[in-house]
Amino acid sequence: MTAYALLGLAIVAEVIGTSALKASAGFSRLGPSLLVVCGYGVAFYCLSLVMRSIPVGIAYAIWSGVGIVLIVAVSAVMFRQIPDWPALLGIGLIMAGVLVINLYSNMAAH
């Protein structure tokens, strides 16, 4: 599996864990609580493997940027937490930053 595929898996696992965190109601519900632990466990394990070949700053920028976008989408669908225009603008700026790092920074090449 390529580093970027592992990074994608780490992002999805983190989004699942974070979504389950909301559903766990402060770890008072067993099923969602177990999903939190498993989701974050898989996320951090995959992220640790990714960092063998992708620089930490790049991996984390992609992980957090894409994760934010996905969490907002999941929150809108599952929890009816619809982002307003300032939130969408902020998310757009985060994604623009991730793109700039990956497309133009020499750091991404290492």
Distances from the Cα of 72 to the Cα of 12, 37, 93, 95, angstroms:
13, 21, 14, 13
Distance CA 82, CA 84 (A): 7
For helices 56-78 and 85-104, give the axis angle rounded to 10 degrees: 150
- Flag residues of the chain having pLDDT under 50: none
- pLDDT score for 81: 94
- pLDDT score for 107: 66
Distance CA 107, CA 17 (A): 29
The pTM assigned to this predicted structure is 0.85
pLDDT in tens, 15-27: 999 999 988 999 9
- pLDDT score for 95: 87
- pLDDT score for 61: 85
pLDDT in tens, 87-101: 999 999 988 988 888
**Alpha carbon of residue 76 to chain centroid:** 16
- pLDDT score for 108: 56
What ranges in 24-84 are assigned the alpha helix state H? 30-50, 56-78
